[in-house]
Structure 1
Amino acid sequence: MKDCPEQNLTENIRRRFDRFINVVELAGLILIGLATAYAMAIEAWRVLMAGQVSLTDLLLMFLYLEVLAMDARYLRLGQMPVRFPLYIAMASLARDLILRAGDTADQHVLLTTLGIAVLAISVYILRYGQHRYPARDDDGREELRRPEPANK
């Protein structure tokens, strides 16, 4: 049975749009990676010029490394575990806690610490769930990357 011309046109438009979205996604990921590397280099330069390293400097560089790792993983595999942003959030909250040490109320310290604990528990639950109930790749990427069938 032959496909109708409208269906071929629709499929052609979908494939072209998907390729366009993939190019935009790739460009965005490259831009994020370059911007993160640049920000990390500026922070490293600032630390070198100051001649001393603080814990907040190290946490900021750790945040940059996590963003780079997340970006690289997404570029390589086309997927990103949810736990990566959770790691970034935990490091960010820890950095905020250290930066504001002594300047904030006890309630802020307690809530920030509770936030870090909730995120850590979330990561543990996600890791357990991924190990116990592995998911199959069902996002449709392999279907989109399949070569087009030859016309008969």
Structure 2
Amino acid sequence: MDESNLPPKLRVGLNRCIGWIESVLLISITLSTIAAIGEEFYLIYQNGYVSLSDILLLFIYLEILAMVHQYASHGKLPVRYPIYIAVIAIARYIILGMKEMDSSELIMLSVAILILTASTTIMRIGHHYWPYNKMPEEK
């Protein structure tokens, strides 16, 4: 059932325009992420060693590329991908600033990771037991 109040010609044109904007942004995000990965490898080469924070940053870049791929392939973005990025970012933040953190800040960040991972687990379990209904194919 079509619920849009826009005239069909306007709706088609608007959808096409938004589709092009999405494509340009996806390409921009992909190229920017690849450039950031190249920069990180260059910094690793300059330093002469790989630290744990470097590896975690590369994982963040990998998750961004996975999100772009998922969106480009299926037109949908699972909520869990940004959650994975947030968990890795918090872990990286903890590792980089652990010496300067007090115990309460460390506990709060650990609880944040726990909440994020628990929410992902709950979503995955819910999706397993109550999967989404398939949308009917558009004509």
Q: Which residue of the partner structure matches residue 85 of structure 2?
A: 88
**Off by >3 Å, runs of 4+ in structure 1:** none
SS of corresponding position for 2:99: coil
Larger Rg: 1
* 1:102 Cα offset (Å): 1.2
Normalised to the residue count of structure 1, the TM-score between the two structures is 0.84
Q: 2:49 aligns with which of 49, 52, 72?
A: 52
Is the aligned partner of 1:23 residue 2:20?
yes
Partner of 2:123: 126
| TM-score normalised by L of structure 2 | 0.92
Contiguous gaps of at least 5 residues in structure 1:
1-6, 147-152
| Identical positions, percent | 36
**What is the match of residue 35 of structure 1?**
32
Counterpart amino acid of residue 12 in structure 2: R
1:61 to 33, 58, 61: 58
**Deviation digits for residues 88-125 of structure 1 (CA, Å, limit 9, x no counterpart):** 00000000000111111111100000000100100100
Q: Number of matched residues?
A: 135
**C-alpha distance in structure 2 between counterparts of 1:49 and 1:29, whole Å:** 30
Give ranges in structure 2 of 5+ residues lacking alignment.
none
What is the RMSD of the two structures over their aligned residues, measured on CA atoms?
A: 1.6
Matched position secondary structure for 1:49: helix
- Output the CA distance in 1 between the equivalents of 2:120 and 2:81: 9
Inter-partner Cα distance in structure 2 for 1:133 and 1:29: 31
